[in-house]
C-alpha cells in the first residue's frame, strides 16, 4: 500500500475514534444500600434491536467488555441479548411488531435466569436513535431491577454519539469502551460496585 494512503487511513481512524462519546444526561435514581459485589447479575441487552445503528462488532465488543469489567469488580454476569431470547427469535424472524416486546422477552426467559440464582437484573435498552448524515446519536436506558419483585431499584439514561465515515461498525473496541466505561463509572459513583 502506498505510504500516503496508509497515512490517510491512519488519520481517518484516529478522527473517527475521537468522534465517539458517551455520558449520562439524566441523574440516576438513588441506589443507596444496593451493592452488586459478590452477586450474580443477569443482564438483558436490547441493544441488538438497533444492530443496524451500532453494528454487530460493537455489540459483541460491548458485551465482552461489560462482562469482563463487572467480573473484575466482583460481579458475576450472564448477558443475554434480545435475539437470544425465545421472544426475540420470534420477533426477528417475523418482524411481527414495531413495539419491542422487552417485558415479554424477560418474562419468558425467567426460568433460564433462575438457573443463575440472580438477585438483580440489569436491563439495557436503546430508547432513542437518530442519524444525521454521518453522525449517529443515541440514548440508552439502564435499569437495575430486583429479580424477585420486578421493582426498579436504580435507573439512568446515557447519551452518546458516533461519527461514521463509511459503515456503522467502525472502530468497535474504543466505541464499546466509552459506553462501558461510562456505565461502570456511574455504578461506582453510586457505590453499587
pLDDT by residue (tens digit) across 37-89?
A: 999 999 999 999 988 888 899 999 999 999 999 999 999 999 999 999 988 88
Residue 164, C-alpha cell as written in the block: 461514521
Q: What is the 3-state secondary structure (H, E, C) of 100-118?
A: CCHHHHHHHHHHHHHCCCC
Name the residue with higher pLDDT: 31 or 143. 143
| Nearest by Cα to 186 from 21, 27, 9, 13 | 27
In this predicted model, what pLDDT tens digit does every residue of 148-172 receive, in sequence order? 999 999 999 999 887 877 766 778 9
Report the top-level CATH class of 3-189.
alpha beta
In terms of pTM, does the model score above 0.75? yes
In this predicted model, what pLDDT tens digit does every residue of 110-133 receive, in sequence order? 899 989 989 999 999 998 888 787
Count CB-CB contacts under 10 A for residue 182: 19
- As a whole number of Å, the CA-based R_g of the chain is 18
Contact 145, 124 (CB under 8 A): no
Amino acid at each position: 500500500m502506498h505510504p500516503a494512503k496508509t497515512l490517510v487511513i491512519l488519520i481517518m481512524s484516529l478522527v473517527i475514534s475521537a468522534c465517539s462519546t458517551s455520558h449520562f444526561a439524566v441523574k440516576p435514581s438513588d441506589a443507596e444500600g444496593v451493592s452488586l459485589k459478590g452477586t450474580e447479575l443477569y443482564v438483558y441487552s436490547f441493544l441488538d434491536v438497533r444492530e443496524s445503528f451500532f453494528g454487530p462488532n460493537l455489540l459483541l465488543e460491548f458485551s465482552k467488555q461489560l462482562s469482563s469489567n463487572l467480573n473484575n469488580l466482583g460481579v458475576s454476569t450472564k448477558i443475554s441479548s434480545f435475539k437470544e431470547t425465545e421472544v426475540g427469535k420470534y420477533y426477528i424472524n417475523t418482524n411481527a411488531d414495531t413495539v419491542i416486546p422487552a417485558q415479554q422477552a424477560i418474562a419468558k426467559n425467567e426460568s433460564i435466569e433462575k438457573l443463575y440464582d440472580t438477585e438483580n437484573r440489569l436491563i439495557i435498552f436503546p430508547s432513542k436513535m437518530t442519524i444525521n448524515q454521518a453522525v449517529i446519536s443515541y440514548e440508552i436506558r439502564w435499569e437495575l431491577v430486583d429479580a424477585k419483585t420486578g421493582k426498579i431499584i436504580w435507573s439512568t439514561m446515557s447519551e452518546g454519539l458516533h461519527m461514521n465515515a463509511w459503515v456503522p461498525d467502525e472502530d468497535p473496541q474504543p466505541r464499546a469502551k466509552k459506553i462501558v466505561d461510562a456505565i461502570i463509572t456511574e455504578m461506582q459513583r453510586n457505590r453499587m460496585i
